[in-house]
């Protein structure tokens, strides 16, 4: 997973696609963390993406490295974590999340 994480960090912004009822929904993300071999992104429970992931956990992440033609596409299933250690690690890795609206 390290190569994937490093690539996303180099890109800065990447895009997360979910399913909104029967249509795709894509939005930019920047907060990403690797923890114990797993890739983590973060969202708030009041965001549309959260309810979309509850209804259908399949996601796709796409990123294009600025100034290059290097890109990545990741398919997977999002799994919500309630582990406070992981949540704290995400805040430590991406402190900008602390100031975001919840």
Question: Which residue has 């956990």 as its token pair?
Answer: 57
pLDDT of residue 102 exceeding 60, the answer is no
Whether the predicted pLDDT of 1 surpasses 80: no
Domains and CATH numbers, the chain: 2-99 (2.30.110.10)
- Could you report the per-residue pLDDT of 31-82, keeping only the tens digit for each? 999 999 999 999 989 999 999 999 999 999 999 999 999 999 999 999 999 9
Distances (CA, A) of 101 to 12, 14, 32, 44, 98: 20, 20, 17, 8, 8
Q: State pLDDT tens for residues 28-41.
A: 999 999 999 999 99
> Does residue 19 register a pLDDT over 90?
yes
For residue 99 the two structure tokens come to 């100031």
Instruction: Give the residue from 94, 93, 97, 61 showing the smallest Cα distance to 77.
Output: 61
pLDDT of amino acid 101: 56
User: According to the model, what pLDDT value does residue 98 have?
Assistant: 83
Report CA torsion sign: 95, 96, 100, 102.
negative
Q: What is the pLDDT of residue 96?
A: 86
* CB contact at 8 A, 87 and 98: no
Mean pLDDT computed over 14-23: 96
């Amino acid at each position: 997973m390290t190569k994937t994480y490093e690539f996303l960090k180099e890109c800065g912004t990447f895009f997360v696609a979910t399913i909104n009822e029967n249509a795709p929904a894509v939005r930019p993300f920047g907060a990403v963390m690797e923890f114990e071999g797993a890739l983590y992104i973060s969202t708030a429970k009041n965001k549309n993406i959260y309810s979309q992931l509850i209804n259908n956990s399949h996601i796709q992440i796409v990123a294009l490295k600025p100034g290059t033609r290097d890109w990545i596409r990741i398919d997977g299933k999002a799994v919500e974590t309630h582990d406070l250690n992981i949540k704290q690690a995400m805040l430590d890795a991406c402190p900008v999340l602390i100031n975001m609206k919840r």
